[in-house]
Structure 1
């Protein structure tokens, strides 16, 4: 039994009866509501089913088409005067030098003004070493000279003694005429021995003289070499105060790692540059192009140059040189190639070291038909687009040409004003491919990238083979 007020409680059968009574009395209103809600909903669904989002549709354009390689670079002077460490450092065996002071970059100097000084403390050990070597060579020279003097003096004294002895033997020989023949013979032998000894002593003296001269030449040459080394070291140290060889603006030189040489930087005798005095009337933009795009860049191509310091300034230039060998730049994983761009304009506001933006025009086509890259895809190796044809979509084969970062040239298959989808439609698998008309000649792509790989290549006709007649056997 239900608990509650009898006035507020109804049985299920009574509730159903009330609902049926309401519907019978208001059926016209219900029908109108259903019609008002259902017809617009049906129309919206049908409209959306046949409509394509305009954000995913692009119109085929016709006009000038450019392929640009954009890079950042740095301004440099094409001509400059090098300010270097003293010449002759390598000959003086001074291979490392340290910059002790350097005028601020951008300082305008006159010829003869002091630009930099090098630290003499780094070369002081070398100076002490060479000075000691000179002193040692001088001592050796003095010793060799004394030895030669003593040796030759003793040899001369021996010759004098032997001359006296020979004279004594001669007197004895003269007195032996009254002696027995045997005694005379012995005296004659003694005389001959003394004479031969004197002759040998004179020959030995000449040999000792030549030996002394050779020894003196040797130690003298070593002394001269050490003195020359000392002179070179002193001359290099005298040039540690570096002066400007010409008037101009001082610009720091960069090391191999891209860092500028400043106070405290070590420089070596193989690369002694400290700073430069650039000719600001002839500037160039030095940039680096990655190994993928460098094949598009050639000398003579035009370049649009911008400056980060002044975005409103527009300059032009020409590619003057492209490196043949790539290099690994700091903080870069890819190989890059150095490209030099000559700036056409002479502007007094241009300064070496300014960052530039370089847009190299590697290819240009007049009155070309092109679409966004996203509109072109591939179907079994055939480049296609999904073209709008009225309310339907057509899978259209196209022939592509050059491409840039955003668009690709359509050589055949589309005309200006056509509309193409930027992404494949949901029913792409059910669409049949509309192929290009057969052509005996395909348009050769320009020198550069083509849009979509996999386009069918023309078959190369084979020449019919000719039968070679057999030679008759003789």
Structure 2
């Protein structure tokens, strides 16, 4: 923030009460010392001067706050006691460390009654063992079902392949069963035809022989027996021919039956066998799926039961572990207090019953501390995270700590008692500390900036009425009121942008001007008889004091001092 955009000087430096008191005391002592050096009969006032010179002006915002731990762990009861004993209102504390005790990491803080949990743990262990056994059996059944399904499916697939192979063997156009049967009948038909031809030839021979014998018999050259034998052979030849013809007819009928009926019937039978085998395969697969799903469901149920029992068992074991609460880090034990809606409070002590998630102990880490303070809205825009801070603890005023602005709230703190808006600010102490306790009062100096080589004057030399700001400057002609333009400030000094030059002497005790006006002096000049006091320049210790401002609180509105608009001749209007 540049000088032209700075808040009003009285908004930034209206409360340096302690710093002004100290500096006022210095001025008063200087004035009193000079008065003692004057003639005892001289009652005229003397002015205290400050010579304006370029200086380094540290911009520091000073606030007060309270210590608290950076790491504050809340220890709670995590035991679900109500789930084990419906008649119990909570879990009983059988041991707790004394309030305010310093503990180390790993120390036992609280022990809760675990008898009900141990009883339940035994029964849950038995239930878990049973669930494990059932899961093993279900897994074995499932594995056996997989093997059985594979066997059944393999057999069904084999039946399908055999049926297809048998049909193929029958239907093969070259070497199939039907082809071979048909060829066999064709061969028999051919043989029958040949036999008929032989029978016909034999019959013709027998017929010719019979005719010759009959002729010879009539002539008397052959006997009757020869004639009978010839006739018998002829009849045999006729029978053989008839038999051959009948056999041929039978074979031809058989061929026709084979081609027109048996082939179709056998083909239908074989196709049916294939279809039946395929349908049986589908049925086997469906049955396998159903049986496997049943076995898998039983296995999954057994696994879920085992998992549920295991989780319950592990939860009980965890609950048993949670009955003993150990310190997560070093710190100081602070018992928690819980106020009910009826105004009563629940005390944490041995024998008391506590419920789940109830806070038992707050364990702040006293080696890592921070300061919680309030920042006035007038300087809020100057405070950002990361600014260096000097921290002083009122209980240990001879020691300072290095800190840093950790965070600044974006929402003001609500208050019903004042319209002043302040914002929470956390100052983190960057070193490990000892002997500090939460709640101690701390003063923080937030080092906002450092202006080098600027003209600055003490804040008590400045007067402001409404928009006019001035100071009183000693000149050769007397005391002159000079309008000035201010820049940034701390609790002791304020930067002067316009109106003053190096070497100017400003009056610090401006009240003396008003005292003189009360005596009727109309003009402040060397002729007025007022003896000029020596120039008082702040010593090196004062400059150092300015660099280390005292605690300033921005908890009330700034009070503006009404000054006259004349040349130091009138008193402020009441």
TM-score, normalised via structure 1 length: 0.48
Question: Relative to total residues, which structure has the larger strand share, 1 or 2?
Answer: 1
Question: Relative to total residues, which structure has the larger helix share, 1 or 2?
Answer: 2
Max Rg structure: 2
